[in-house]
Amino acid sequence: MIEKTDIQKIGIYYRQDPTTRKEAEQIATWLEQKGVTVFWPPFPYSLDLIIVLGGDGSLLKAARMVWPVAVPILGINFGELGFLSAVSKEEAKKILVAVLEGKFRAEKRMVIEGIIYNQNEKKGPFMALNEIAIERGAWTHLITLSVKADGQKVTSLRADGIIVATPTGSTAYSLSAGGPIVHPALDALIITSICPFHLVHRSLVLFPEATVEITLERGGEGVRVIFDGQVFIPLAGGDRVEIKRSQRPIYLINHGLYFHTLRQKLNWGC
């Protein structure tokens, strides 16, 4: 948890459309009137807070910009679902007043890192707040993947792909693929296959210190590894992706009503 009582430098990131830009400029003017220095991307590393106007995709982009620096992020939902950006436009000013007064808590969210190995080079690490996914992409057949955890074989599978998610990402792509909902206060690695050939393959929740290794045993052009749906790296047969918890988390400010958000956004347990 991060608690700040002296908010002087705030970065603003907004979804790139005219309406959201206008709202961002109005918030920036309001903050400057209160003596706050406002920054736009690219951000310096000395910020006290980042405000994101947009949906979950915008928040993930902003998190990627500032990681690994421990800057709290406040998401204001200008998107559709807005599970991470849980503060509504109508609540924004009220929440910002409380934040400027130091009346907020920034929750630590687990981040994972992926490193790609092939015969010639090592790429990464690349960070993900939600998930790292390996997908068949444009390849028209199932791909074959082998999975290890701490050097021990977990499984081999034929599927459209596989997802390794954080608890924060358990309500995103992983959930759509049939994975469990895991409370974001926990640290865990969630492995979920995407449309597996054998229905016996179910999600697996691992302890957070585990190192997961996924090797592309069989696939073709178009197979890729994707970080939070934003960074795409092609994979070839024999390439290996190593995934583990990062020692550098992300900090999110929210209203603390997690189960309310589940019911409202996902119609869960109505």
What's the chain's average pLDDT? 91
> Where in the chain do CATH 3.40.50.10330 domains reside?
9-109+249-266
Determine whether domain 9-109+249-266 maps to CATH 3.40.50.10330. Answer: yes
pTM for the complete prediction? Answer: 0.93
Mean pLDDT of 184-193: 96
Instruction: Judge whether 17 counts as a catalytic residue.
Output: no
- Could you say which of 17, 48, 56, 187 is catalytic? 56
The pLDDT assigned to 81 comes to 64
Condensed to tens digits (0 to 9), the pLDDT of residues 65-117 reads 999 898 999 999 886 666 787 677 888 888 899 889 888 888 999 999 999 99
Task: Spell out the residues 6+ positions from residue 261 whose beta carbon is closer than 8 angstroms to its own.
Answer: 83, 86, 254
Instruction: Pull the structure tokens for residue 226.
Output: 């994707």
Answer with the residue of higher pLDDT: 79 or 200: 200
The pLDDT assigned to 4 comes to 55
Condensed to tens digits (0 to 9), the pLDDT of residues 130-151 reads 999 999 988 889 999 999 999 9
CATH of domain 112-245: 2.60.200.30
The pLDDT assigned to 262 comes to 80
> Where in the chain do CATH 2.60.200.30 domains reside?
112-245
Mean pLDDT of 35-53: 94
Percentage of the chain with pLDDT > 90?
Answer: 73
